[in-house]
Amino acid sequence: MANVFSFSSGPRAKWVVFFVWIVAVIGCNVAGLPEKFTDAEENESSSFLPADAESTKALAITEELNDGDVAPTVIVYRRGGGLTPADRSKIEEDTGKLNELTKEYENTTPFGEPTVSRDGTTALVQNQIKGTGEAPDILDPIDDYREAVSDPGGGLEVKVAGPSGISADAIKVFENINWTLLGAAFLLVIFLLIVIYRSPVFWFFPFLAVVGAVISARGVGYGLAEAGVTVNGQSSAILSILVIGAGTDYALLLVARYREELRRTQDKHVAMAEALRRAGPAIFASGLTVMTGLLVLTLADVNGTAGLGPIGAMGVGVALLVMLTFLPALLTIVGRKPFYPFIPYGPETPAEQRKVSSFGPIGRLQVRDRGREVDETHGFWRRVGDRVARHPHRTALISAGVLGVMCLGLLNYSNGLTQGNSFRDEVESIQGQDLIAEAFPQGQSAPTDIVVRDPSKVAEVARAAASVEGVAEVPPRPAQQGEAGVQLLAFLEFPPYTTQAFEVVEPLREAVRRVDPGALVGGPTAIESDLRDASARDTRLLIPLTLAIVFLILVVLLRSLIAPVVLIATVVLSFLASLGVGAVVFDVIFGFPGASPEIPLFAFIFLVALGVDYNIFLMTRVREEALKHGTRDGMLRGLAVTGGVITAAGIVLAGTFAVLGVLPLVFLTEIGFVVGFGVLLDTFIVRSVLVPAITFELGPKIWWPSSLASSLHNRKRPPAPPTAPPSGPREPEPALD
């Protein structure tokens, strides 16, 4: 198996691998597949609904009744002191102007007569836009409406709102999301690579591999979208971050071992082959763990979450493949010189040509200075390990206690984030919705649909629905009717995208079904309510399933039962601590209205998979060292050798997830913070302190029930040497735990 990983380092094979990847990436770019992947995004909330949700069934019928998926446009005119005669004349003039604009679009209906509020302060003018699946068919008419009527001044406020207005604002956010995100992430990665390698040249080669991985992943992603996988702006953004973050991490882990081997041999091909044989399986297992965790999302009810599963797993898989094939081929082609000024030399190199070889202050591996070699198992992380080893029990309790205190922030956790407050910046559709709420029933901008299957019971259903607490009005006049049923509109007392409105949906369904057992409740409020319920079910199902799968992978990899339990328990504790800190930060610092219902599941999948990722790399090296030196010294040596590179990888991954904060969506800012903070916790507390402390405390038992546990436990200290030792060199004592 190890020889499979070393294939791309061969003197001839490296050129084959290099040119195959270059042709593939260039072909993908020439074909425009990354841009097609962006165009394939579906950002309407209805496209994410589970097939068995009631709002999905209601949507299918209302689409049939309306000859397609329609979204109302609501243009609100408001003057606080009351609309003047001039205002009413302007509304009439604007309505004619708007109707001229609608003639330019086949998917829009004419605007009707204005509806004026009882207090005379507000008027609404409405039409409908039929969805076609193409973003311009919603964005273009909304932009024209806004250019024609929005905010004329003189004390009259005019906003274009309604579901079509919200959709248009969301489309604008996602239009430039990929370039903004990629630009910020690439700049951050370049900066961190220069700091880590302290070379003006070497950073370019892992960066080139990361760029190739991003292009390839987006190309393959287009194929998945064409195959029916749901892709939206959020999953597209997360794909980019996963590929950049995971790809850079795998590059750092491989290069660290490659540099280590370059100091042992003068032949770069031998060094890379050995690095791939040693580090390749651990990197592969780490990537497989992340991919498996992401694939669990495929079982989600929410289509957007289910779509992120194969999209994210594919991205990590592409990054893994690039870093285990293209990057080794590229590095063996360019040789040692790009490491300048800290070039790692082999023992055959003349002493005068040797330079100090290091990974910088956060990643020191080994130092050579004109022939003088310092053992790579010493340094900052060895000193950390020594301190932990002196008091492992106390260290484990303190570090676990710190994480436990962070978990208390969960008492402040709220899932109050909805579509109506999901934008970080002010957008016109939400401003218009607030104006409507001041004078009309607050559901006026996005009414709730009631589908009555028995036409003879329309009036009775309308009365039953109007009697539900939280429902302001249900006109008995049908909005649409046909063979499939009759569509009524219900106006709620609460804004349509709030948790108060969501709580009305289920009582409303119960009330209408008592009159007509086949009646259905749908519309924007019901859609988001069903999405939230499905997200809660997904969280309850997928978190335990992910834990079970990751546990099995760790058992196979480490050939132990105790070590996997320790690793998973520590990462879960880190996840809860990150979520707790996030809950406080969202409320106190950011002032967000709450977290998205999807945050716990997404954060868990990323943090457990990525947190275990680093622990895999640490513990596989510790196991390798323990076979020669025992568990205690194996942990010290493993921590010393991997500490710097894992720390660097953690900083890179946390930084790339933090880049999600540059986007004006609350959900992406929240997931970026929680995962970024959680990765840093895993890097600096869990992997560096807590896991070593528990390992020191358990000793060889950490490997139970493998033969390694018993063999290390049964090692005996050699008898004391005689008073007068014999002359000649002594054999080294076997390592003790």
Q: What are the domain boundaries of the chain?
A: 2-42+176-376, 69-169, 385-417+538-713, 447-522
Four-point Cα dihedral 593, 599, 600, 604, nearest 10: -150
Q: In whole angstroms, how far apart are CA 710 and each of 614, 701, 704?
A: 26, 8, 8
Judged by phi (left if over 0) then psi (alpha if -120 to 50, else beta), residue 133 lies in left
Beta strands in 470-512 (DSSP E): 471-473, 480-482, 485-492
Dist CA 505 CA 496 (whole Å): 11
- What tens digit of pLDDT does each residue of 285-318 get? 888 888 988 999 999 988 888 889 999 999 999 9
Picking from 164, 159, 310, the residue whose alpha carbon sits closest to that of residue 228 is 310
3-state SS, residue 43: coil
Dist CA 568 CA 587 (whole Å): 29
Dist CA 291 CA 21 (whole Å): 22
DSSP H/E element including 452 = strand 448-452
- Using an 8 Å Cβ cutoff, are 83 and 123 in contact? yes
Dist CA 43 CA 177 (whole Å): 13
Dist CA 255 CA 205 (whole Å): 11
Residue 180: Cβ within 10 Å count: 16
Dist CA 440 CA 491 (whole Å): 9
The type of residue at 736 is: L
Picking from 691, 601, 534, the residue whose alpha carbon sits closest to that of residue 234 is 601
Quote the pTM value: 0.82
Task: Give me the pLDDT at residue 707, please.
Answer: 63
Terminal alpha carbon distance of the chain: 30
The type of residue at 188 is: L
| 636-674: burial string, b at 16+ Cβ within 10 Å, e else | bbbbbbbbbbbbbbbbbbbbbbbbbbebbbbbbbbbbbb
Structure-token match 């009555």, residue found: 452
Dist CA 366 CA 349 (whole Å): 16
The type of residue at 362 is: I
Dist CA 230 CA 218 (whole Å): 14
**511: its two tokens:** 């009330």
Picking from 648, 614, 635, the residue whose alpha carbon sits closest to that of residue 386 is 635
CATH fold for the domain made of 69-169? Alpha-Beta Plaits (3.30.70)
Dist CA 307 CA 371 (whole Å): 55
Dist CA 130 CA 294 (whole Å): 35
- 195, with CB counted inside 10 A (0-12, 13-18, 19+), is middle
CATH of domain 2-42+176-376: 1.20.1640.10
Mean pLDDT by 10 residues, the chain (737 residues): 70 92 92 86 70 88 85 92 93 93 90 91 92 81 92 90 88 74 88 88 93 94 89 84 91 88 87 88 86 91 88 94 94 89 72 45 39 53 89 93 95 86 85 88 83 93 94 90 91 88 94 94 91 91 91 86 90 93 93 88 87 81 83 87 86 89 87 92 90 90 74 50 45 37
Q: Indicate the length of the chain as a whole number.
A: 737
Cα radius of gyration (the chain): 31
Phi, psi for 427 (deg, rounded to 5)? -125, 150
SS (H, E, C) 227-296: CCCCCCHHHHHHHHHHHHHHHHHHHHHHHHHHHHHHCCCCCHHHHHHHHHHHHHHHHHHHHHHHHHHHHH
**529: its two tokens:** 């309510």
Q: What is the DSSP string of 304-319?
A: HHHHHHHHHHHHHHHH
| 525-559: burial string, b at 16+ Cβ within 10 Å, e else | bbbbbbbbbbbbebbeebbeebbebbbebbeebbb
- Using an 8 Å Cβ cutoff, are 289 and 613 in contact? yes
Dist CA 560 CA 616 (whole Å): 13
| Contacting residues for 90 by C-beta, under 8 A, at least 6 apart | 77, 152, 156
Phi, psi for 207 (deg, rounded to 5)? -65, -40
Dist CA 38 CA 222 (whole Å): 8
| Contacting residues for 670 by C-beta, under 8 A, at least 6 apart | 417, 582, 586, 592, 595, 596, 599
- Using an 8 Å Cβ cutoff, are 138 and 171 in contact? yes
Dist CA 634 CA 639 (whole Å): 8
Picking from 367, 371, 331, the residue whose alpha carbon sits closest to that of residue 348 is 371
Dist CA 660 CA 673 (whole Å): 8
Q: In whole angstroms, how far apart are CA 376 and each of 361, 373, 386, 632, 639?
A: 14, 9, 15, 17, 11
Structure-token match 């990590």, residue found: 316
Task: Give me the pLDDT at residue 293, please.
Answer: 87
- 105, with CB counted inside 10 A (0-12, 13-18, 19+), is middle
Beta strands in 40-182 (DSSP E): 70-78, 115-116, 122-130, 157-161
Picking from 307, 286, 301, the residue whose alpha carbon sits closest to that of residue 226 is 307
Structure-token match 């076609």, residue found: 132
Helix, strand, coil: what percent of the chain each, to 5? 65, 10, 25
3-state SS, residue 429: helix
Task: Give me the pLDDT at residue 498, please.
Answer: 86
CATH assignment of 385-417+538-713, among 1.10.8.100, 1.10.3720.10, 1.20.1260.10, 1.20.1640.10: 1.20.1640.10
Given this structure, which CATH class describes domain 447-522? Answer: alpha beta
Centroid of chain to Cα 514: 42
Do 385-417+538-713 and 447-522 agree at the fold level?
no
Q: Which of the 8 DSSP states describes residue 108?
A: B
Dist CA 493 CA 503 (whole Å): 12
